[in-house]
């Protein structure tokens, strides 16, 4: 099983609108050591974070690729194949293999687009919804716990930093995809 992820993907247009900084860009003293700690904290937190659904996935013989596809189909019901490709940042061939399995296993359905009949709109079946929940449940639980323990101010800071870690080019596109109600 492959544990790598990531990749370029989602490179949008640079048109960057800065998000009204709450304080006047106060320059921080940040030592390399502090930054290295941040890097490692991210590494470990993310590693444990992704280990949750991996267990569920393994039982079914799926991998992370399936998880990502299911996640974003859940999030954007009716998304087209090309749209999913953009978000995931993988090749058509890679996605296709995964998609084929999910459709075969009755977790995802395709419907031909009405406006543009070349497109295939993707949706989860009830069975797919169920798997999605069982994948995200442990992650949500982990976050819920961490957020609760850390408190609302910490959560706000957490989001703020993560948002600013995203490539400036695609940031607005990503953030509008993710949704910003929590802010």
Pick out residues in 137-166 that bind DNA (CB under 7 A). none
**Burial per residue of 98-136, b for 16 or more beta-carbon CB atoms within 10 angstroms, e otherwise:** bbebbbebebbeeeeeeeeeebbbbbbeeebeebbeebb
- Residue 12 touches DNA, criterion: CB under 7 A: no
82 binds a copy of itself (CB under 8 A): no
Residue 89 binds to DNA (criterion: CB under 7 A)? yes
Residue span binding DNA (CB under 7 A) among the ranges 43-51, 84-92, 123-131, 139-147: 84-92
Which two structure tokens, joined as six digits, stand for 62?
Answer: 């799926």
Q: Give residue for tokens 């948002």.
A: 163
Residue 1 corresponds to which tokens in the numbers above? Answer: 């099983």
Residues 115-174 that bind a copy of itself (CB under 8 A): 136, 139-140, 142-167, 174
55 binds DNA, rule: CB under 7 A: no
Residues in the chain: 183
CB 172 within 8 A of CB 16: yes
Binding-site partner at residue 80 among DNA, a copy of itself, none, CB < 5 to 8 Å by type = DNA
Q: Which residues bind DNA (CB under 7 A)?
A: 1-5, 7, 61-66, 68, 80-83, 85, 89-94, 96, 98-100, 110, 115-120
């Amino acid at each position: 099983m492959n544990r790598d992820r990531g990749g370029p993907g989602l490179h949008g247009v640079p048109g960057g609108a800065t998000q009204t900084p709450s304080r006047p860009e106060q320059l921080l003293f940040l030592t390399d050591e502090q930054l290295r700690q941040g890097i490692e904290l991210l590494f470990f937190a993310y590693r444990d974070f992704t280990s949750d659904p991996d267990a569920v996935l393994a039982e079914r013989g799926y991998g992370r690729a399936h998880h990502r596809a299911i996640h974003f189909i859940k999030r954007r019901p009716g998304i087209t194949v090309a749209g999913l490709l953009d978000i995931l940042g993988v090749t058509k061939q890679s996605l296709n293999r995964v998609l084929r399995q999910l459709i075969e296993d009755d977790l995802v359905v395709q419907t031909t687009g009405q406006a543009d009949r070349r497109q295939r709109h993707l949706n989860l079946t009830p069975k797919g919804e169920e798997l999605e929940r069982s994948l995200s449940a442990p992650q949500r639980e982990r976050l819920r716990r961490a957020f609760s323990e850390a408190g609302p101010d910490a959560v706000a800071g957490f989001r703020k930093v993560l948002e600013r870690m995203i490539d400036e080019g695609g940031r607005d596109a990503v953030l509008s995809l993710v949704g910003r109600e929590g802010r």
